[in-house]
Amino acid sequence: MMEARTWSIESVEAMEKLGEQLGQEMTEPMVIALVGPLGAGKTHLTKGVARGLGFRGEVTSPTFSLVQEYHGGRLPLFHFDLYRLKSSAEVLAMGWDDFLDQRGVMLAEWGDLFPELFDENDRMIRIEVCENGREVLYC
């Protein structure tokens, strides 16, 4: 499991590069809550993670579909957007546990809205908007 770290990010390209670095380090299934305000860069980070895992196709926001699946890399990637959901029961109804069973990397934007879905082994990436870009905390 990767240790806690922080980064200062000054551009979209740097956010995607960070995601790619993290994706290259991911060697086992994991669940990560992506936390940060609208426009913080959660989807850009996910694009990089997908590349780091070896996925070569287009990565898009799951805002309207709620989840995007990416296969073809070392591990499957499941990218969730929980922003519009009202309860953890809705998340479970959309197949959360079925995705867990597929043993891939699950990135859940707005994961902080439903902390009960995450256990002590899951991780969080918090993105804060700062004057000079973004501060990214992985814990």
CB 91 within 8 A of CB 113: no
Give pLDDT, residue 1. Answer: 52
Give pLDDT, residue 35. Answer: 97
Summarised one tens digit per residue, pLDDT across range 24-64 is 999 999 999 999 999 999 999 999 999 999 999 999 887 77
Q: Using pLDDT thresholds of 50, 70 and 90, give the confidence band for residue 2.
A: low
**Full-model pTM:** 0.92
Domain boundaries, the chain: 5-138
Give pLDDT, residue 63. Answer: 73
Q: Span 66-70, mean pLDDT? A: 93
Class at the top of the CATH hierarchy for domain 5-138: alpha beta
